[in-house]
Amino acid sequence: AQSVAQPEDQVNVAEGNPLTVKCTYSVSGNPYLFWYVQYPNRGLQFLLKYITGDNLVKGSYGFEAEFNKSQTSFHLKKPSALVSDSALYFCAVRDFDSGTYKYIFGTGTRLKVLA
């Protein structure tokens, strides 16, 4: 079965510093990977995805993610963190099971950017 793991419950970073939120995956076949962000009292918002092609994927709000097949990782990154980036981040993998597309989510990582 497909799965994703987010090893850090929380990441703290100073404003202006680079940030990394980690995600590792376990899939059979080619992975379809996603990052979402959740602000307080809101639903998840799509940030970026990896389907195929370049290992560095660029997304919304200046975020990017690096796909590493040998390390089975898909870490979210941003060169310079903003206080407004503070939120809950979810990694997800698409699963195709019994003819249906489903999405498996990690447990989430809370990012706190300190002014």
Partner 1 sequence: NAGVTQTPKFRVLKTGQSMTLLCAQDMNHEYMYWYRQDPGMGLRLIHYSVGEGTTAKGEVPDGYNVSRLKKQNFLLGLESAAPSQTSVYFCASSPRAYSNQPQHFGDGTRLSIL
Contact 1, 68 (CB under 8 A): no
Residues 9-28: x where in contact with partner 1 by CB under 8 A, - otherwise, as a string: x-------------------
- Contact region with partner 1 (CB under 8 A), list: 15-23, 66-74, 75-83, 93-101: 93-101
In the complex with partner 1, which residue's Cβ is closer, 50 or 85? 50
Does the protein bind partner 1 through residue 31 (CB under 8 A)?
no
Contact 69, 76 (CB under 8 A): no
CA dist., res. 62 & res. 112, Å (int): 17
